[in-house]
Amino acid sequence: MDNTYTKERIIMHIDMDAFFASIEQRDKPWLKGKPIAISNIPEERSVVATASYEARKFDIHSAMPVKIARKLCPDLIIIKTDIDKYRKESSKLLSIFNKFCPAVEQTSIDEAFFDLTYTVKNFDDAKDFAIKLKEFIYNSLHLPLTIGISYNKLLAKLASKLGKPNGLKIIKPEDADKILEPLPVGKISGIGKQTERILKEKFNVRTLGELKKIPLLKLASVFHSQAVFLYNAARGIDNSKVISDYEKGNPKSIGNSITLRADTDDEEYIKSTLKYLSEKVGLRIRVYHLYAKTITIVVRYKDFSTFTHRKTLSKAINSNYEIYIHALMLLKTIWKGKKIRLLGISLSNFKDHIERGLFDKEDNLQTLEDVLDRLKMRFGNKAADYGSVILVKTKGMI
């Protein structure tokens, strides 16, 4: 007889509400209650990094061109990204997290998972824990956040999504099916617009309950390796562990991918998406104070065929602009003009310093803004913009 006792997992997910925008509204009281968007370069040809909830009421979202955002909301206020400030706030958050729980996995600058399995007694105790942590963070940093609690990471993140903004939601095992089944499939992180569309076209599936009825082999015939994730997600299954920074040390790789809203061969749209991804991975690598010597891009086409291309650089990088330029060069070598459904960038082979040559000067290490300004002066405004989706065809990739 096996007397091993396995305690039910209790996982908590914290997601800061419109993190960058909330910081700016806190630091500039006149912005409170107003629609604002954060953008790396606050010009018409830039893209939105994040938007306040006041702006989201106008359907403004991340990666949207500022030009389109202004049309949706003429009163929109554009604030220039202050990466150093946001990174400092993220460090403060992690410090608070580690005081409350030893098992914390920070997954991005404004998100983290907690494994509370051996920190609290049950879900009611977890709720009390979350309320105290939420109040402590708000009193310390004056920033809103949402907390989700469940028995695995997938559902804890779903709970925080359902609880937004500034909420607290718990999905207990006995309630999971009732909560999951009526939800649109897109509510699950990892199921994007394209997957939603294909599920509807191929299987007439709109909800997680309908997805649950599709056999794994049928899903595999269309989605290949992604089928297992879809099959498990519909059932609320996720066995991944919370891995603290202490356990994993510095990451071996840092990457982001995005499924496009529609399969496209529009060059400007693809380039602007690549710029958006460059900014995302650039921010994440700078959080760890690392530099990457290897860059990889992933391209998935309309037919789900997937290709990767990797390059080891002569000099380690961590600026958004350098990441974008190298990613664009890699894309140029493998993209044959077919319609793309997913793009991804990942960085690896990390160094904790820049390797400089014998004659390199110390003052060559500029802030991101300085680099962009210098490139603009040398090559013109277009060279350093985080471009928008301009629906005009161009002839060359660069």
* pLDDT digits 0-9 by tens, 167-187: 999 999 999 999 999 999 999
Superfamily of domain 181-234: 5' to 3' exonuclease, C-terminal subdomain (1.10.150.20)
Residue 384 has pLDDT above 60, yes or no: no
Pairs from 192-197 (Cβ < 8 Å, separation ≥ 24): 192/258, 192/259, 193/259, 193/260, 193/261, 193/262, 194/259, 194/260, 194/261, 194/262, 194/263, 194/341, 194/342, 195/223, 195/226, 195/230, 195/259
> Model-level pTM?
0.66
- Rounded to 5 degrees, φ, ψ at 62 are -60, 145
Q: Comparing 363 with 294, which gets the higher pLDDT?
A: 294
Q: Band of the pLDDT at 43, cuts 50, 70, 90? A: low
| Same fold yes or no, 1-169 and 250-384 | no
119-139 pLDDT, tens per residue? 899 999 999 999 999 999 999
Residues forming the active site: 111
The pLDDT of residue 168: 98
Domain spans of the chain, in order of start: 1-169, 181-234, 250-384
89-130 pLDDT, tens per residue? 999 999 899 888 878 998 889 999 999 998 899 999 999 999
Pick the CATH number of 1-169 from 3.30.1340.30, 3.55.40.10, 3.30.70.270, 3.10.105.10: 3.30.70.270
Q: Are 328 and 334 in contact (CB under 8 A)?
A: no
Residue 54 has pLDDT above 80, yes or no: yes
Pick the CATH number of 250-384 from 3.30.470.10, 3.40.50.970, 3.30.1490.100, 2.40.50.140: 3.30.1490.100
Task: Please state, in angstroms and rounded to a whole number, the distance separating the CA atoms of residues 51 and 36.
Answer: 6
Q: Comparing 218 with 369, which gets the higher pLDDT?
A: 218
- Which residues, at least 6 apart from 85, have a Cβ–Cβ distance to it below 8 Å? 23, 27
Mean pLDDT of the chain: 84
The pLDDT of residue 341: 87
Q: State what percent of residues in the chain have pLDDT above 70.
A: 84
> Which residues in the chain belong to E strands, given as ranges?
11-16, 36-39, 48-51, 77-80, 104-108, 111-115, 145-150, 168-170, 253-264, 291-301, 306-317, 340-351
Distances (CA, A) of 201 to 5, 58, 181, 205: 45, 28, 19, 8
**Residues facing 170 on adjacent strands:** 149
Q: Are 298 and 308 in contact (CB under 8 A)?
A: yes
The pLDDT of residue 279: 87
